[in-house]
Structure 1
């Protein structure tokens, strides 16, 4: 029986944002192929129940509360790493000598205590955290947060160099990150994002609105949405739906000032898919160059036109399935042009996505690397 510990930076359900989508559907795909998963989650508050969707694909599930000590900002290691530290986690890992897959560098605090103890160690490299926090610092308007993100970026610079070499393999999401890790540590493997989609949705040629969706507590998404709102205020003839379960009060106030813009919760994967299926075009903007954004896949499988800027993906094939705007003026032109078009790319997407981005194929590759078969 093949078993695997997975240490997640958060509880991976519902899979509605960012790296959590990758975590959940990776677990599901590995479980479907017979791997017994022992899931360890760092969380703010322990949930009262484990969702049946998670129970079904795991052997065991453990929760560990993130530390809330603000003095950890002064730690020599990144704050996001320092708060995810647990002696109970160590004890639970020692009960079973299965390999360990760390989801993101922020889960790796216990690495120094796992030397020579029989575990094979693997990393899912979700971001170049140095570049990620540098981007957050650039996008953030709050001076204090801007400084915190800048310091976190500097801490990760040394931390990444030191720790990446300690893994048997590092599974990278994108070509850019694969090349960075391989040049430094020579243990990189390119395993694209797990996204949970199996077939491209057949849709009518016209949708009802433009859609922006994402986690609106992150500085990058907030900046992108602010730009999108400003843009749609100049396009009152078009409706923009903003979908998020994490909208801040300032975002809610700004949305309320525009008659053609509305905010709706996501809540479930099914609801997100419905929102995507009803959208005529999607606005995906990022100011961080960090490979392919997870939400691009849901959009490609379940919606029509996708208007992106350069930072949404570094994959030229995926870019060919989207409408590209290098700045907000070009994005504005793409909005106007797409509003008049009928969507007719279903077959092209099927050919590319179902051949090259299957979750099952990616899970098989991970199993082959970890279990050497």
Structure 2
């Protein structure tokens, strides 16, 4: 939802009138959305067996909603679908003559395949494997049915163009918070930081890998911060003398930790899409050490130190922890980030995709 939320004020500033249709849990309406939208309509996502389909991915079938379709049929406005999740209407002949665009957050079938490989629970593995198989068929089927597909990385665009034979695919960078101005931090921070949603299997796997394979070798302070850490993760961090776990920090606390860190440590076990925590680290932090999976195809590879095994991570962390953060790196980031992630420029580009024939 990160890209969607910050897209709304950017489009409104360009004079776009937005009628937002979104799925929720039935009781979590967001008043903030009313600031940017002419109207906001909510629909409850189907749960459990009600959202199941033998032929469609669950993330799609659980969002098929006739009330939504009827509301969309009341006018002839262009339709922008956020994610593969909300794209079923591409298969509905009632919308054949409408202008339709899909904002892709990942190549979903590849993302779910990677979740399958990283999951430790057998039930999760079965779910991710099934979703990946169905998503591959589904994404290939719809790849010719929208007027435009917009990806968040150049690499995802290439997959759609080459593998799925999509002729209407384009890269459009994610929209970011308006207050994300490149921070001119200098000097040294106080610790290394890993931040992310710790309830996600792949993120927990990354933290455990760091604890067991990297920080066992180096005695440097590590802060791990994020949502809903497991009991296993809490136990592991308690046993480490130089490690601190911060569970469920608010946004202000997280940004403060990023600003005070010396090195952002960002290994990943998934490749598709763009990592918001990577952008956050580059805009608001000092050094960033990441693996190839974190940065590949993002266009941000040259802004990070790259390490792809435990020994390389340990060596780079040790070397950079003793170095002051230098202005040259800030200028290098400025040349890339301010050009690629300009909300005004990207909103104007999106408007061209929406209204140009």
Distance 1:367 1:74, change over 3 A: closer
Q: Which residue of 1 aligns with 2:346?
A: 362
- Offset at residue 268 of structure 1 (A): 4.2
When residues 337 and 355 of structure 1 are mapped into structure 2, their CA distance, relative to the original with a 3 A threshold, is same
Write out aligned runs for 1:282-301 (5 A): 282-301=264-283
Shift of the alpha carbon at 1:266?
Answer: 5.2
Q: Of 57, 80, 89, which residue of structure 2 is paired with 1:101?
A: 80
The CA deviation string for residues 224-276 of structure 1, in whole angstroms up to 9 with x for no partner, is 11112224551563222122123233323332332322222455443332221
Shift of residue 327, structure 1, vs aligned partner: 1.3
Paired position in structure 1 for 2:237: 255
- For the pair 1:314 / 2:293, whether they are aligned, the reply is no
Structure 1 residue 97: deviation in Å? 2.4
CA distance in 2, matches of 1:234, 1:51: 46
Matches within 5 A, 1:1-373: 20-47=1-28, 49-52=29-32, 54-70=33-49, 72-73=51-52, 75-113=54-92, 115-116=94-95, 118-183=97-162, 184-196=165-177, 198-231=180-213, 233-235=215-217, 237-265=219-247, 268-315=250-297, 318-344=300-326, 345-372=329-356
Q: Which moved more, 1:347-356 or 1:154-163?
A: 347-356
Alignment root-mean-square deviation, CA: 2.1
> Which 4+ residue blocks in structure 1 deviate beyond 4 angstroms?
71-74, 265-268
TM-score normalised to structure 2 length: 0.91
With over 3 angstroms needed to count, the CA separation of the structure-2 counterparts of 1:119 and 1:111, relative to structure 1, is same
Verify the 8 A CA contact 1:232 1:238 in the aligned structure 2: no
Q: What TM-score results when the alignment is normalised by the length of structure 1?
A: 0.88
C-alpha distance in structure 2 between counterparts of 1:286 and 1:155, whole Å: 24
Corresponding residue for 1:15?
Answer: none
Aligned residues: 352
Q: Relative to 1, partners in 2 of residues 1:261 and 1:95: Cα closer, same or farther, differing over 3 Å? A: farther
Contact 1:64-1:89 within 8 A present in 2 as well: yes
Alpha-carbon deviations, 1:81-124, whole Å to 9, x = none? 11112222123222332111111111123333353465311001
For 2:122 and 2:68, locate their aligned partners in 1 and report how far apart those are by CA, in whole Å: 35
**Structure 2: which 5+ runs fail to align?**
none
Residues 64 and 356 (structure 1 numbering): CA distance in 2 closer, same or farther, change over 3 Å? Answer: same
Cα distance in 1 between the residues matched to 2:9 and 2:204: 30
1:345-366 CA-to-partner distances (Å, cap 9, x unmatched) read 2222122211232122111101
| Gap change, CA 1:236 and 1:259, over 3 Å in 2 | farther
- Measure, in 2, the Cα distance between the counterparts of 1:320 and 1:202: 18
Moved more, 357-366 or 269-278: 269-278
Secondary structure, counterpart of 1:85 in structure 2 = coil
